[in-house]
Structure 1
């Protein structure tokens, strides 16, 4: 039930939600790229908060360990919680994807405007851990979106038999359990990479 193969099959079973999650993340990136006005202020606030946390972690006795603990706990808790917050008709996973995509889009665009080295930013600063972290977050949000769709379906499709709905919900909750475990594992790997390889490349 908790094997990686089962996890992959579960992800394949929510293709539409996964596609929608990917589109929302890309849309967020585009919004961040062209962000102006209120959107730009929001993104700057997000980045200032991250910068302050980063500076505090760098000043700790063991920066790499501090980065690892913060990154892993922050991402894994959000990754799991966002699945179940999707029960609120999928609104929060959608916002989460848009905001995270927007932050990345804004950072890349700002770096270009400032003449910074994009190779360092993307290949050294984002790719090593992002190749695992970003898909894991998108998958988590996809399950959240699927959760929202199922809640909406239960509310508005009253013609389905009760026993059928119960079996369907039981199967989906098993999927969310499997997904939660593997998303945490993937984010653990990403946190190790980010706090070691990425940290060293950008130091």
Structure 2
């Protein structure tokens, strides 16, 4: 029988995950701040990150809105799932995943501010991030935090020679399926049909 995590269980699970969430959020904020200041210092790194973002954007551009929404959802869900599962490898993948996303956001913010000025750039950036980001960003960061915890428990299992991972992996996957996936689906809908319209009006 599948043990579906209801709202109270989900909140309790986040409480149990709070130390790992704190690490992931701190790393994300640090990476975003670093991304904001490095464009002039390491332009080749900026080009590499933006090239990856552009490739993903090109794959979605020109598609019907519904297909675009499903593409955004699939990309985010797959990346979040990989961050969760590959966290078993010492928790390294979720750390790199969060760093890359933080750097990209910081770089984009710097470019928008440089082009439009502080006030206009920040407003445009928030208009393009906040509507869907209030769901997408927590979902992505929680997935990475689960992956980081799994990596920690995997190392602990090796030291203790006792399986302390399987139960946590199943709990994390249940949270992913019943909470993270719906959050990412709604975020993809908002990004496609609301964020795009808001950016167009701005």
1:154 corresponding residue in structure 2: 157
Is 1:127 aligned to residue 140 of structure 2?
no
Q: TM-score, normalised by structure 2?
A: 0.87
| Stretches of structure 1 lacking an aligned partner (at least 5 in a row) | 159-164
Separation (CA, whole Å) in 2 of partners of 1:23 and 1:169: 24
With over 3 angstroms needed to count, the CA separation of the structure-2 counterparts of 1:174 and 1:52, relative to structure 1, is: closer
Is 1:184 aligned to residue 162 of structure 2?
no
1:175 to 163, 171, 177: 171
Q: 3-state SS of the aligned residue for 1:126? A: helix
After TM superposition, the structure 1 stretch with the greater mean CA deviation from structure 2, 177-186 or 188-197, is 177-186
Contact preservation (8 Å) 1:86, 1:147: yes
After TM superposition, the structure 1 stretch with the greater mean CA deviation from structure 2, 6-15 or 17-26, is 6-15
Deviations 1:128-183 (A, max 9, x none): 0001111111100000100110011111234xxxxxx44x4343123112222111
Separation (CA, whole Å) in 2 of partners of 1:49 and 1:134: 19
1:197 corresponding residue in structure 2: 194
| Stretches of structure 2 lacking an aligned partner (at least 5 in a row) | none
2:69 corresponding residue in structure 1: 68
RMSD (Å), alpha carbons: 1.9
1:11 corresponding residue in structure 2: 14
Taking CA–CA contacts closer than 8 Å with sequence separation of 6 or more, which of the two structures ends up with the larger relative contact order?
1
Separation (CA, whole Å) in 2 of partners of 1:40 and 1:84: 32
Residue 10 (structure 1) shift: 1.2
Q: TM-score, normalised by structure 1?
A: 0.86
Separation (CA, whole Å) in 2 of partners of 1:28 and 1:130: 17
Residue 185 (structure 1) shift: 1.1
With over 3 angstroms needed to count, the CA separation of the structure-2 counterparts of 1:110 and 1:52, relative to structure 1, is: same
